Amino acid sequence: MANKQPPNPLPSANLKRHMAALLAFLLAVAAVAMMRDGVEETEVAYVRDFFYVGGHYENDGSGGVVLRDQMYVERLRPVAGATQPVPVVLIHGMGMTGSNFLSKPDGGRGWVSDFISQGYDVYVVDQTSRGRSSSYSVDSRSRQPVSLSVETVQDRFTATGQRRLWPQAGNHSQWPGRGVKGDAIFDAFYAATVPSETDAVLTQTAMQRAGAALLDRIGKPAVVLGHSQGGLFPILMADARPGLVRGLILVEPSGPPFRDGFTGAFHPWAIADVPLGYEPAVTDPVRDLVQASHPAPDADHASCTLQATEPAPRQLVNLADKPILVVTSEASYHAPYDYCTVAYLRQAGCQKTDHMELASVGIRGNGHMMFLEKNSGEIQRLLHKWLQTNL
């Protein structure tokens, strides 16, 4: 009878090679998850609360009473506690919700995690009548909400190089994927869009009140960051609660002054549709805010309408001492005219206004939705650096 060999307690060379290959593969997958285009992609741990601010009770027209214009807020803070003395409020733009800042449609890390990792206490809102905030439906004055079409999103945000509707549109290279319907990343982004209230006065009035209520609840000066249509709200909140706003970051805010570059609508208060605290006081903005046109400096930029020099330009007294940063990407439809918004703010007494044109600091190829693009973390680090320098 043949002698049986005892089993070899050690793995064979073949098995070792397979295990090593498997380990290398798993490490590679982990590395991809952790790092994409040189930017860490994992979300950070945080403590989450949510609450509502603002709102008022109103008859619903059928004998009942409802609450409307309240605003949903998420508070996200570092697990070990904030190390930055100033909290950050993030406000999304038209057709969007606060989910814009939580993560990116390609699965990448959002600005919320970036700010939390730097020690900030972060508040993310859904605008009134949007997302998890109350709908406008009981207000008979309101018009039907409007959704951004696929074509508008592609042409303005994600695939601007296709139709090149403005001179810089062909420079867009940072959107992940093809940026068109049927691309998985585009579809994930478009699925997150929501209908928007179109009455600017109703929206801005409600958001100013709810934003002021949020600042009251925070109870100490905050930085307010707004994007696009939401870029007006840091201004309105600072005007209502100047003692509770430490600084403003306006990421491609609605503009330029007096005439909106996206909708074509007239802004009677220049950078808003509702009253602002000017000095001397403005009672009739069409009469009191005397306009003067300035020609475009070159073919890549738009002309500007500012205040005339005679009489002396009215001053935004509640914003004059605030550090303000306007951020403009290289390829956005804002690239031709954001400089007008900066010029208006400075003319109105906001001498601490900085204009960060990303291309001028070596960050190329971004569009209007820069916080969802491949190099979003690089942009956010510039915002953090500006805050550290200017607050």
Q: What is the pLDDT of residues 226-252, one digit of tens each?
A: 999 999 999 999 999 999 999 999 999
Q: Note the pLDDT tens digit of each residue in 28-52.
A: 334 434 444 444 568 999 999 999 9
- pLDDT of residue 216 exceeding 60: yes
Measured in whole angstroms, how far is the alpha carbon of residue 183 from the centre of its chain?
A: 23
State yes or no: pLDDT of 200 exceeds 70: yes
Q: Give kind and range of the element (H or E) at residue 385.
A: helix 376-390
Note the helical H segments in the chain: 13-34, 111-117, 150-153, 184-191, 200-218, 233-240, 285-288, 338-347, 376-390
pLDDT of residue 144: 75
CA–CA gap between residue 138 and residue 12 (Å, rounded): 73
User: Could you tell me what percent of the chain has a pLDDT over 90?
Assistant: 82
Among left, alpha and beta (phi > 0; psi -120 to 50; other), residue 182 is: left
CATH architecture of 51-266+318-390: 3-Layer(aba) Sandwich (3.40)
**Catalytic, out of 117, 133, 134, 228:** 228
Active site residue 134: no
CA atoms of 16 and 10, how far apart (whole Å): 10
- pLDDT at position 279 over 60: yes
Query: pLDDT: is 60 or 53 the higher one?
Result: 53
| Domain range list for the chain | 51-266+318-390
358 sits in the region (left: phi over 0; alpha: psi -120 to 50; else beta) called: alpha
Q: Is the peptide bond before 268 cis (omega within 30 degrees of 0)?
A: no
According to the model, what pLDDT value does residue 333 have?
98
pLDDT at 41: 62
